[in-house]
Structure 1
């Protein structure tokens, strides 16, 4: 199956701009939602997995607004909320009533939030790290602190430090990965989104808002998730340490957890075959 960048790229116009995505495969729909971080795109998160999932599903790899690929939205808001709105707009534009969702890190948070607020649109959730809250490990994590450093003062050296923090095996980070991430990180809307999520001032405002707000954090409402949920995690994740999984595992009524050994934050990359096997078994039950 041909799953090259050029052969799979698509776009759809919505009332808040163009959403770009990659499409491959036949069968029931499956949405793949990317994470945050430096120079991230949906294609870079899932290009290595798309061919396998496309053998069983009609796959859509979304590019969230504000990350340098899809049109940024005119009105602001936190990137996680913007991404969730984009998923609903995308599904409406393509006539997708409901679908299972795979979400890497921030993408997992987006999928979980949608499962809470729009349960009729989400059939199953597979999260890759990111969901929950730290209960034993330091907060902010090592990876988040490196993101803050980069957001406050971008540099190639800062990018490399963060990339090495994402993986268990540093050989995973090739020169090509560094170059392509650096290229996207320099785009104004991409860096603006990174600053909004991880810049020191923005991060401090977010923490103060959470402290002052009467609105409960999303993870405290995960008991409302009605769909089967698979939490996948790297045992050596330094961006979102594995103890984060304990709260969602306890709260989600139909939740389960799979931890991959010798694996960092990029489970779909470092534990590629095992992740695909576990995910397909879960999706096809």
Structure 2
């Protein structure tokens, strides 16, 4: 395990998780008590996605009471990519388990955004004892026709203009997304090997990729975890109907819908999002 690079906020601590050197932001609670838990934050699949780029408005808010662990998922950011270039849901979930083991964490609450929501669902279904509370935010993990916006995300080819167009499409009000965020995501998407990995993870046909990420509904219906589903009403990437279906399937689920909100609740309504999330995780 090595310490973070203060010159680059995207780089946290390096952890060997099952042989994959993993970049992870591991932040201890500032007001930690014996009852304080740990929350695992899983980012989405957009080009240039990293833990820091996705969760920088969220980590400080949660770290007041919880230990926060936010890794770059293999294929993204500064985490080591598999040498064979093969990416599967099983690889990603096994990596998360190895990361928890490496950090000595028996059980965590999990917050999954979009693609990360699909991984959070699979982790909870396949290893229920490792998950406390579950939060699914703009979450994939069900079968539905690939939306136009999701197809554009997975079909991204690097340019600043293309990244600006994607980011604008993700938000209900594009003015809430700063040039700094666009630049951060664009620069991350152009690092050596990143685009090649992206095309390996999300090849055409995109519908097949979505189906591989989907968790069978009959298994989702067995979840016993307290679950918070969060969705933007105007989300053009993952339809609101998907969130409604998760509410129907998961016995202990509740749904919070943000109006005038697209796919990036944490950037579009950060204070309200953090309040809803913190209340659920700390109650």
TM-score (norm 2): 0.87
Q: How far does the alpha carbon of each residue in 1:188-210 deviate from its partner, in whole angstroms, 9 at most, with x for none?
A: 44223321343325x26547xx5
RMSD of aligned alpha carbons: 2.4
Matched, 1:91 2:97: no
Matched, 1:165 2:169: yes
Kept after mapping to 2: 8 A contact 1:219/1:248: no
Moved more, 59-68 or 94-103: 59-68
Unaligned segments of structure 1, at least 5 residues: none
- Counterparts of 1:36 and 1:18 in 2: how far apart (Å)? 19
Q: Which residue is equivalent to 2:188?
A: 184
Kept after mapping to 2: 8 A contact 1:128/1:233: yes
Q: Which residue is equivalent to 1:259?
A: 257
Q: Which residue is equivalent to 1:121?
A: 130
Moved more, 183-192 or 94-103: 183-192
Return the offset for 1:134.
Answer: 6.3
Moved more, 38-47 or 165-174: 165-174
Moved more, 80-89 or 159-168: 80-89
Q: How far does the alpha carbon of each residue in 1:149-206 deviate from its partner, in whole angstroms, 9 at most, with x for none?
A: 42xx4333222221111101111232222222111111344223321343325x2654
Report how many aligned residue pairs link the two structures: 270
Kept after mapping to 1: 8 A contact 2:171/2:268: yes
Unaligned segments of structure 2, at least 5 residues: 1-5, 30-35
Return the offset for 1:106.
Answer: 1.1
Return the offset for 1:222.
Answer: 0.5
Return the offset for 1:38.
Answer: 0.9
Q: Which residue is equivalent to 1:283?
A: 281
- Counterparts of 1:7 and 1:164 in 2: how far apart (Å)? 22
Q: Which residue is equivalent to 1:175?
A: 179
Kept after mapping to 2: 8 A contact 1:185/1:191: yes
- Counterparts of 2:143 and 2:265 in 1: how far apart (Å)? 19
- Counterparts of 1:219 and 1:239 in 2: how far apart (Å)? 20
Kept after mapping to 2: 8 A contact 1:11/1:19: yes
After TM superposition, the structure 1 = structure 2 runs for residues 21-170 of structure 1, keeping only pairs within 5 Å, are: 21-26=24-29, 27-133=36-142, 139-150=145-156, 153-170=157-174
User: Residues 131 and 167 of structure 1: is their aligned pair in 2 closer, same or farther, counting only changes over 3 Å?
Assistant: same
3-state SS of 1:40 partner: coil
Which has the larger helix fraction?
1
User: Residues 274 and 78 of structure 1: is their aligned pair in 2 closer, same or farther, counting only changes over 3 Å?
Assistant: same
- Counterparts of 1:67 and 1:74 in 2: how far apart (Å)? 14
Return the offset for 1:268.
Answer: 1.1
- Counterparts of 1:24 and 1:60 in 2: how far apart (Å)? 7
- Counterparts of 1:143 and 1:119 in 2: how far apart (Å)? 32
3-state SS of 2:139 partner: coil
Q: Which residue is equivalent to 2:33?
A: none
Matched, 1:218 2:227: no
Kept after mapping to 1: 8 A contact 2:86/2:200: no
Return the offset for 1:237.
Answer: 0.7
